[in-house]
Amino acid sequence: MSSPRAPHPRSCLVGLAGLSGLARLGSSLAERGLGAAFLFPAVFLLLLLLVGPFLYTLYLGFTDLSYSTPGQDGNFIGLANYRRLLFEDGVFWHSVATTLRFVAAAVSVEMVLGFAIAMLLAAQVQRSRLIMPLVLVPMMLAPVAVGLLWKLVLQGDFGMVTYSLRALGLLGAETSPLGDPALALTTMVLVDIWQWTPFVVLVTLAGLLGLPRAPFEAAMMDGASRRRIFFDVTLPLMRPILAMVLLLRTIDAFKEFDKVFLMTGGGPGTSTELLSIYVYRVNFRNWDLGYGAVCAFMIYLVVLLLCKVFYGALSRAATSHGRAGAAR
- Domain contains 189: yes
- Domain contains 166: yes
CA 311/CA 316 separation, integer angstroms: 9
Q: In the prediction, which pLDDT does 270 show? A: 92
Q: In the prediction, which pLDDT does 318 show? A: 64
Task: Report DSSP state, residue 155.
Answer: -
Identity of residue 154? L
E runs forming strands in the chain = none
Residue 49 to residues 44, 46, 54, 288, 303, Cα–Cα distance (Å): 9, 5, 9, 23, 20
For residue 210, the number of C-alpha atoms closer than 13 Å in the C-beta half-sphere is: 9
Say if CB 96 and CB 182 are below 8 A apart: no
Sequence-separated (6 or more) residues with CB below 8 Å from residue 170? none
- Domain contains 152: yes
Give CA torsion, residues 279, 284, 285, 290, to 10 deg.
Answer: 70
Query: pLDDT-derived band of residue 119, with 50, 70 and 90 as boundaries?
Result: very high
Q: Which residue has the higher pLDDT, 309 or 252?
A: 252
Q: In the prediction, which pLDDT does 326 show? A: 53
- Domain contains 56: no
When mean pLDDT is compared over 6-10, 29-33, 193-197, 317-321, the highest value belongs to 193-197
* Domain around 141: 107-282+297-327
Instruction: Using a cut of 0.85, tell me whether the model's pTM lies above it.
Output: no
- Domain contains 262: yes
Query: pLDDT-derived band of residue 35, with 50, 70 and 90 as boundaries?
Result: low
Query: Dihedrals φ, ψ of 76, to 5°?
Result: -70, 125
Q: In the prediction, which pLDDT does 320 show? A: 63
CA 304/CA 301 separation, integer angstroms: 5
What b/e string do you get for 40-59 counting C-beta neighbours within 10 Å, with b at 16 or more? eeeeeeeeeeeeeeeeebee
Model confidence at 225: pLDDT above 50: yes
- Domain contains 24: no
Task: Identify the weakest region by mean pLDDT among 35-39, 166-170, 213-217, 292-296.
Answer: 35-39
3-state secondary structure 199-252: HHHHHHHHHHHCCCCHHHHHHHHCCCCHHHHHHHHHHHHHHHHHHHHHHHHHHH
Query: pLDDT-derived band of residue 13, with 50, 70 and 90 as boundaries?
Result: very low
Q: In the prediction, which pLDDT does 199 show? A: 95
pLDDT in tens, 39-83: 788 888 888 888 888 899 999 999 999 998 888 888 999 999 999
How many percent of the chain have pLDDT more than 70? Answer: 85
Model confidence at 32: pLDDT above 80: no
- Domain contains 156: yes
Residue 324 to residues 155, 204, 233, 302, Cα–Cα distance (Å): 53, 21, 11, 33
Provide the number of structural domains found in the chain. Answer: 1
Q: In the prediction, which pLDDT does 222 show? A: 86
Sequence-separated (6 or more) residues with CB below 8 Å from residue 249? 107, 110, 111, 196, 199, 200
- Domain contains 69: no
Burial class (CB in 10 A: 0-12, 13-18, 19+), 11: exposed
Helix (H, G, I), strand (E, B) or coil at 303: helix
CA 319/CA 240 separation, integer angstroms: 9
Q: What is the domain-level CATH number for residue 157? A: 1.10.3720.10
Query: pLDDT-derived band of residue 117, with 50, 70 and 90 as boundaries?
Result: very high
Q: In the prediction, which pLDDT does 14 show? A: 43
Query: pLDDT-derived band of residue 24, with 50, 70 and 90 as boundaries?
Result: low
Q: What is the mean pLDDT of the chain?
A: 85
**Chain centroid offset of residue 237 CA:** 23
Residue 82 to residues 49, 140, 191, 224, Cα–Cα distance (Å): 26, 39, 34, 57
